[in-house]
Structure 1
Amino acid sequence: MFKIMIVEDDQTIAKLIAENIEKWNLKAYVIQHFEQVMTEFVHEKPDLVLMDINLPVFDGFYWNKKIRETSQTPIIFISSRNTNMDMVMAMNMGADDFVNKPFSMEVLLAKINALLRRTYNYQDSNANFLEHNGLKLNLQNGDAQINGQEIALSKNEYKLLQFMMRQHGKIISRDRLLRELWEDERFVDDNTLTVNVNRLRRKIEKAGLKNYIVTKVGQGYLLP
């Protein structure tokens, strides 16, 4: 699993990036001590660095320079400083890409995966399929497959299963699932989530996988 080091002092943005990175089966490591970026880089050995420019103690250009003294690990700058000079400086100092804030999370993730592929000859298995415990989810047509048997999914069942598979091994709260499936969960009956989960569970069990989705009472759901 590739590790992405996030050097961003806005903890809200850093947490959001980390959550989205981990949905794609990548490991996120968020820097907490901004005077020790190089120390943590050496210790964690990330495969890619996301670097803000405006940071406490030393700016991102400084840490980019320090990293480039010893490593060619790919670096993507993420910054609200979007002048041509900032972009030119970043690239001239050895950065691999530059993303302006505010940015689209989908664009950032696409750039991360593209850079990982270029650098490590990484074939992104998430491009077409997700697999977990005998279930294979086709990300192109939205169908699931168990032991060669196709399972047709509704739009919500597909979105639900995809998100849960990316978070397998973690308990996912009902509130988080509501937020992921519907843009404004305030207008969605909580029972709607229960109905979708139960329908999905029955389809998976009918195809031969028992206890694929586990209910954690008072906590949410889990794909063990």
Structure 2
Amino acid sequence: MYKILIVEDDNTIAEEVGRYLMKWGYEVEAVTDFGDVLGHFGRFLPQLVLMDIGLPFYNGYYWCGEIRKVSQVPVIFVSSASDNMNIVMAVNMGGDDFITKPFDLEVMAAKVQAILRRTYSFSAPTSLMEYKGMILNLSDMTLVCRDEKIELSKNEYRILQTLFENTGKTVTREAIMKRLWDEECFVDDNTLTVNINRLRKKLEGLGVEELIVTKKGIGYRLGEL
């Protein structure tokens, strides 16, 4: 089942579109906190986004740009501002299509189906993980936080992936080491500590402290921030 995220300031339109798409078998969610569109995106992990242009706080172009930092999922702009300048801007910001308000629901659904079919017929969606507004991209080993994107080393990425997969739990040092290195490569316990410290410094550069919490004598867990 494909998941569709609706980012629409008009509740009536969002509800109407949502009900119609659910009749087609899609799983649909609508953003209600327009100051945290990227966070909602990371938690829901949709395969397509319907994006209004005129939104509170930041417009749809801004949020499309933020999504493009972590994912190439299709974004369809939906707006009554259908002049050439807005259409060109939508395309330049990474939009895949443009639907002008008011629109016919059948036409909208047909566009959604066509883009999903074209995008996912031969490839799987990008795999993302989210925690407290931070998005870990499993396909290119990057982390996006507070509008900044950083590249991770293979070990840093695997450490975060392991912790993200075990949110709310403490992961033992032994379990992390097994994830990082295969049996053919012996690495002493100190090497894990070095990797953890390097990752912490990189996160501190993003202004994120206490993401990785040490449970003395056991291992590590994600902090509450």
TM-score, normalization by structure 1? 0.54
| 2:83 matches 1:83 | yes
Q: Which structure 2 residues correspond to residues 58-207 of structure 1 after superposition, within 5 A?
A: 58-121=58-121
Query: CA-to-partner distance for each residue in 1:74-109, whole Å, 9 max, x for gaps?
Result: 000000111100000100111000000000101000
Q: Look up the equivalent residue of 2:50 and give its one-letter code.
A: L
Structure 1 equivalent of residue 52 of structure 2? 52
Q: Distance in 2 between matches of 1:94 and 1:34?
A: 19
Structure 1 equivalent of residue 132 of structure 2? none
Q: Distance in 1 between matches of 2:45 and 2:70?
A: 12
Percent identity over paired residues: 50
Q: Distance in 2 between matches of 1:27 and 1:21?
A: 8
Structure 2: stretches of 5+ with no match in the other structure: 123-225
- The alignment partner of 1:46 has SS state of coil
Query: CA-to-partner distance for each residue in 1:135-183, whole Å, 9 max, x for gaps?
Result: xxxxxxxxxxxxxxxxxxxxxxxxxxxxxxxxxxxxxxxxxxxxxxxxx
| 2:31 matches 1:34 | no
Q: Distance in 1 between matches of 2:51 and 2:86?
A: 13
- The alignment partner of 1:70 has SS state of coil
By how many angstroms is 1:70 displaced? 1.3
Q: Distance in 1 between matches of 2:82 and 2:53?
A: 10
| 2:23 matches 1:23 | yes
Q: Distance in 1 between matches of 2:8 and 2:40?
A: 14
- The alignment partner of 1:111 has SS state of helix
Structure 2 equivalent of residue 8 of structure 1? 8
Deviation above 3 Å: which 4+ runs of structure 1?
A: none
Q: Distance in 1 between matches of 2:19 and 2:93?
A: 29
Q: Distance in 1 between matches of 2:53 and 2:9?
A: 10
Q: Look up the equivalent residue of 2:110 and give its one-letter code.
A: A
Q: Distance in 1 between matches of 2:26 and 2:39?
A: 22
Q: Distance in 2 between matches of 1:44 and 1:22?
A: 16
Q: Distance in 1 between matches of 2:105 and 2:88?
A: 23
Q: Distance in 1 between matches of 2:83 and 2:89?
A: 10
Alignment RMSD:
0.9
- The alignment partner of 2:72 has SS state of coil
Q: Look up the equivalent residue of 1:62 and give its one-letter code.
A: Y
Q: Look up the equivalent residue of 1:68 and give its one-letter code.
A: R
Q: Distance in 1 between matches of 2:104 and 2:65?
A: 27
TM-score, normalization by structure 2? 0.54
Structure 1: stretches of 5+ with no match in the other structure: 123-224
